[in-house]
Structure 1
Amino acid sequence: MWIPLCFQVIGLVPFVVPPKPVQITAQKFFNLHDYRLHDDRTVVLFFFTSFQHRSLKPYLASLQRLDARRDTTVIAVSPEPPRRIERFIARHNVRFVVAAGSKAHEGFKLRPRDFPKVVVLRPPGAARRTNGVNILEDFSELDALFPPTEEPETVTLASGEVLQSGAFDASSPTELLERHASSDPDRSERLRAVSLLRKKLPPEEFMRFCDTLWTSGNWGTEGHWIADRGWLAYQKHLADPGQPDKQPLFPLSIVASRAYREHPDDPRWDRLETYLDSMPERSADELVDDYFAHQGDALADLQIRRQIVRALEGQARERHVEAGRAIGFLRQMLSQEPDAGIRQRIVGAICALGEAGDKELADFLEAQLQTEKDVRLVRPMLEYTIRYLRTGKE
């Protein structure tokens, strides 16, 4: 499998790179279903080996933040086989694209002993906002190479008003916050405006605003339908006086993932580390047995269940288990999983493996939706998956 990258290497380099499109070839790509490459996006290639995992921790945090930028995509590239890299991804909760079993480093005259290395690619004709080098020797160069956008985005409203992205705070008038919530060109600023409005408006008025806001053309776009829908529903839930028991922002499984990522050497993760070592050899049936053997809210058990869902989806994608059979296992898990974060991950796996037109599966998820209480993560994921199964629309 390969990804064509029609980009030019920029900057001064100590060797000659052919002026031709770069192809990233690999035995397997992870997190690829979240990958969207826009023509004007800068690509950051991160060459690494998993043997360096402890020393890579601060770099990974920087790369995660960089990948969240709208103008940048990060692709990690390793010559190691997919099974070893899968464990690395699980350990560090890597969310950007990872190419395993790749020799792409040879095209840049890099050797594994040179790793870690970062190569920055910009599209032909892109504005060059820095004189930074394209092969970084020190990760401290990342901040200098990717400074914040110099000019804030603006949008002209139908009234003729020019709205500058993020030009508001908690003291801003309600009317200005409403305009930013509806029309700010930056998605993250729209979400922030909604949060501030919840604290300003009477509950009933804010809830009505949430109901109408979803019809705005700026909401549910850019590939963020699930997250945007969930954020609106969650803010409405927090404002609703009829729901005194408020849901936490993060379920325990996400708290566990963060704790593991920040303190991987804590003894409480020994059981998880032992299981991750054995997981690549487990069959689908064994994974399911393991899933139900690790019930409870101990942080290690939550992490194990989350990784089992990921592994089961991976086995179905690689055709080690038939997709319909894997979906059957996932349905069993969904009906019994108490943690909202893991339920969302299960529904996401069902969505990835299911086929448009599967009415029976859509009906099953519709029944789950009727009783699902988590408004921020699980209900939007269910709604999205049901829509996809019934209509084929993503």
Structure 2
Amino acid sequence: MRQQRIGIVMHGVTGRMGMNQHLIRSVLAIRDQGGVMLSDGAFLVPDPIIVGRNAEKIEALAKKHGVERWTTDMDAALANPDDTIFFDAASTQMRPGLLARAIEAGKHVYSEKPVSEGLEEAMKIARLARQKGVKNGIVHDKLDLPGLLKLKRLRDSGFFGKILSVKGEFGYWVFEGDWMPAQRPSWNYRAQDGGGMISDMLCHWRYVLDNVVAPVRSVSCLGFTHIPERWDENGEAYKATADDAAYATFLLEGDIVAHINSSWCTRVRRDDLVTFQVDGTHGSAVAGLHKCYSQHRVNTPKPVWNPDEPQTLDFYADWEEVPDNTVFDNGFKVQWEQFLRHVAEDAPWHYTLLEGAKGVQLAQAGYQSSKERRWVDLEPLEV
């Protein structure tokens, strides 16, 4: 088996998402399976170097997972011509500067989202990548979840007929941190540290709606800070300054109306932590992270409103589960394989930093809408 090495500078992988999804379950999983196969039959094998500020922490992580290289010297890592990709999963506030340094050093860049806190900065980074001729990508993890892949399969098959609307529910109860430790980091609830539900999730909803349903054209959004005080990792009380819930309505191409509730202040009574229901003239479907259920018009029940008697219909029974029909790999890993092929042999890749800027654009428009209490249209973006 012919193998070809590709060096990857990985920053921000001591955090939960960077470590679990990107380092362990993606890059190291690809390495351990022998690489990703290229069109000529060779296998491209990633060779990561972990970069971080805490030497003790990154050394321990490297040793635990069999990563031979680690460093606290970002400049040296970026200067090494044997490492051609830079990946970042650290804080949003640091990201634009790090991406710019990597691009200037001639690295291809792959990044978690959002790419920045503001649209102007996001577009500046996208234009710099194009100017320098480096390949670039933004993580779009939810698109390769089995549930959303099945939902897209239904759309592409014409199952829905004319799509009318989308209803999304996302979130769960994040404990305040006093009597029960919080299960999300405290910075998520401080606006000054880059926290906020609108900035966190509307960039996701942009690529989900754009790619699974139809492009987003405008937004009306209300953001709230429902819980004004929380407790940090040290048990210290702090003022929550970031929005912890967002209630957004989107108008999509084709006059499709989408509404998505996003909240860290809701208790779950649905099939999954996120669900999307798409309603069309010929059928409807509801997707979570892994499962998807559909109901065609010929299987649609005919309820009659009667508040004086208990409901006799079992509305769940009339939905059918969409089968897997294929083996679904980890969505983050699938995207890493796609990007590695893109870098190595120019395989097709759509999710560039410009697509990341579109997510920032929607989040920025969401904040503007919430502040001004009005609809905000999205202008086309070009690099």
Please give the TM-score of this superposition, normalised by the length of structure 2: 0.26
Higher relative contact order (CA 8 A, sep 6+): 2
